[in-house]
Structure 1
Amino acid sequence: MASLTQAFAAELMPAGPLSDAARTYASEAAAANTKRAYRAAWADFVGWCAIGGHTPLPAAPEVVGSFLAARASTHKAASLTMRLVAIGQAHRLKGHRLDRQHPAIRETMKGIRRTHGTAPAKKAAADVVVLRDAVSELAKIPGPRALRDRALLLVGFAGALRRSELVALDLADIRFVAEGMVLTLRRRKTDQEGQGTEIAIPFGQSERTCPVLNLRAWLEAAGITSGPVFVSVNRGGAVGSARLSPIDVARVVKAAMEAAGADPTGFSGHSLRSGFITSAARAGVAERHIQNQSGHRSLPVLRGYIRRGSLFVDNAAAKVGL
């Protein structure tokens, strides 16, 4: 599989001569997570073609359609669409054209969507109620790890941050001001060119759940004066220098939700972000203000979160006298 991944790195480079500098910039045209996903998708397709004796590049539409059908029982429609995009990208960058509207591809995908559906599995939102309970439980635990986890949960929630944005924070990205603090996100999903985004987080209504005060407490206890904000803490309470990973955020969230009495299996690192949007919608916060904090470019995507968070707000079934 390693050789397939290495081969894909070459496949993603445009055809024709490029200078070393141009190749370096071209390799950074897509985000790291996107490139990893494309490599895995392309490796899957190449491996499937090798087993079946098919040519992966250029691939006949019938071959691509057959591949999608072969993966339909184990992969969701969104995952298959991403694989199709990766296959098309590899073709385009090598000077080939993959006709995604060819009936062998289009009708296969249409049939897969009708048969298996397109609704993605939704993780539970860590709304403000369960978050308060989780922070209260963490407040009972002494030591720097609990301090870190409280700060991580509250900053991630109040900033509506993705887990990758949360762990990418450096102390230099935080500016404490009279109203609270301002986070500078050097790069986010909707800012792939790194122009930077500022997110304001005000003081909370309670000292226990205030993201600003809890972050200050963690920084002071950990002795952090530069570098990553959220770092490792071992079981003995020793603060390390290694930056936490996005997976670590998910672990912290799950453990905190379990401590609060919730089923941890339904939660993920994304639960803080979705929990903020859900709670803001229930509190009647205007859509544009939620969007300012979350950074969503797509209103339909944001409205999906808002609708799920407001299902029982002014619900018609509650007003018909049942």
Structure 2
Amino acid sequence: MSDIIVKKECEVDFSTEKAKKYILHAKADNTIKSYKADWKDFVSYCRERDVAYLAADVNTVINYVAEMADTKKVSTIVRRLSSISQAHQAADCGSPTFSFGVKAVIKGIKKTKGTLPNKKKAAVIEDIRMMVDTLGGSLTDIRDRALILIGFAGAFRRSELVAITINDLEFTRDGLTIMLKHSKTDQEGQGYKKGIPYGSNPETCPVRSLQDWLNQSKISEGAIFRSVNKSGRVGKKGLCDNTVAVIVKKLVKAAGLDERKYSGHSLRSGLITTAANRGVDERSIMKQSGHKSLTVMRSYIQDATLFKNNAATNVGL
């Protein structure tokens, strides 16, 4: 849990700093960030109304949820309830989110608003080619080409992509092996490897593109994807995950596509969608994407597969 949840609000006393450190690492960094923001919002709501936020009354949570329903998506409401629940559990308090009343309100909101997610588009292979075609020979362009192609070929999450270091790479005859030390589905840090094969087209080959970037940037240690300033100087620290989304949107726009429909996650969903559309078996897709759940993986396969083996294709229409 975050400092806001554990220390400032819940007032849970951990005996040592080492113990708190391990507890904080029980969740992914992005999850912790979300918990912080969600808990802060709930605390502000309670303070404005002079009601307790820990332990919160069931009616307080019900009213909070009902008020959010006017402006927030269902997914946001569900996530904030999860944050409230985590805060109460961290403080060894009974969570009001488990009550019948809260569950009933959520069920009613879902039926009223619907739960169809507003997903960003997958950057399928045709989009990737168009994006790469917009890039030239500047150092920034060389970096962006490598980042886009590695992100797509490895079906990486943004956080995974920016966390790759030189020591995680192994170039082989077959391509590139990348060791992931941590990921969303590997919270215990066991690590696993992803293979990035050579591409048939040198212009869109992820392995050659990364080799070019490393040679031009002269990066020999640390994070492989870094900032490049206007004078062409490479930064010392790795990019943040939000920068991946910025780069994707920039290239999408340059390619003549609607950048509002894409995000940093479009690279990951793009590989999964493209592979599924081309008949790659689900086990192989999951091996590359790192998904543990077949249901979750299938949710990434977007509209590109709607007309593949469509039941209405050969019925005589």
Is 1:312 equivalent to 2:304 in the alignment?
A: no
Partner in structure 1 of residue 16 of structure 2: 19
CA distance in 2 between partners of 1:28 and 1:101 (Å) = 25
Write the mapping of 1:58-77 to structure 2, written as runs, cut at 5 A.
58-77=55-74
Counting matched residue pairs gives: 316
**Residue 262, structure 1, aligned to residue 282, structure 2:** no
| Distance in 2 between residues matched to 1:61 and 1:231, nearest whole Å | 47
**Structure 2 CA distance for aligned equivalents of residues 184 and 212 of structure 1:** 15
- Identity, % of aligned pairs? 42
Q: Compared with structure 1, are the counterparts of its residues 14 and 114 closer, same or farther at alpha carbon in structure 2 (3 Å cutoff)?
A: same
Give the Cα–Cα distance (whole angstroms) in 1 for the partners of residues 91 and 237 of structure 2.
39
Q: 1:188 aligns with which of 177, 183, 189?
A: 183
Structure 1 counterpart of 2:206, from 194, 207, 211: 211
Gaps of 5+ in 2: none
Code of the residue aligned with 1:238 in structure 2: it is: R
Asked if 1 retains the 8 angstrom alpha-carbon contact of 2:5 and 2:39, the reply is yes
Check 1:307–1:130 CA distance in 2 against 1; reply closer, same or farther (3 A cut). Answer: closer
Distance 1:142 1:125 in 2: 26
Partner residue of 1:277?
A: 272
Shift of 1:321: 4.4
Query: Could you say which residue in structure 1 is the equivalent of 2:194?
Result: 199
Return the alpha-carbon distance in structure 2 between the equivalents of residues 28 and 148 of structure 1.
Answer: 31
Give the SS at the match of 1:220: helix
Secondary structure of residue in 2 paired with 1:319: coil
Aligned mates of 1:206, 1:84 — CA distance in 2: 48
Mean alpha-carbon deviation: is it higher for 52-61 or for 310-319? Answer: 310-319
Aligned residue for 2:313, secondary structure, equals helix
State the AA in 1 paired with 2:160.
E
User: Paired residue for 2:116?
Assistant: 119
Dislocated runs of 4+, deviation >6 Å: none
Mark the CA change 1:54 to 1:174 in structure 2 (over 3 Å): closer, same or farther: same
- 1:234 matches 2:229: yes
Offset at 1:17?
5.6
Q: 2:152 aligns with which of 148, 154, 157?
A: 157
Shifted more, 221-230 versus 302-311: the winner is 302-311
Superposition pairs of residues 125-164 of structure 1, within 5 angstroms: 125-138=122-135, 141-164=136-159
Shift of 1:238: 2.5
Letter in 2 for 1:210: C
Contact 1:49 1:56 in 2 (8 A): yes
Q: Distance in 1 between matches of 2:64 and 2:142?
A: 49
Letter in 2 for 1:240: G
**What one-letter code is carried by the residue in structure 1 that aligns with 2:75?**
A
Q: Report the Cα distance in structure 1 between the residues aligned to 2:237 and 2:21, rounded to whole angstroms.
A: 27
Partner of residue 90, structure 2: 93
Structure 2 vs 1, CA of residues 91 and 233 (structure 1 numbering), >3 Å: closer, same or farther? Answer: same
Structure 1 portions without partners, runs of 5+:
none
Residue 145 of structure 1 contacts residue 233 of structure 1 at CA under 8 Å; is this kept in 2?
yes
Contact 2:6/2:12 (<8 A) preserved:
no
Q: What TM-score, normalized to structure 1?
A: 0.93
CA contact (8 A) 1:161 1:272 kept: yes
| 2:301 corresponds to 1:296 | no
Provide the secondary structure at the position in 2 that maps to 1:269: coil
Answer yes or no: is the 8 Å Cα contact 1:12–1:93 preserved in 2.
no
Residues 33-80 of structure 1 show CA distances to partners (whole Å, capped at 9, x for unaligned) of: 212111111111111111112111111111111100011112111111
Partners in 2 of 1:230 and 1:96 — Cα distance?
43
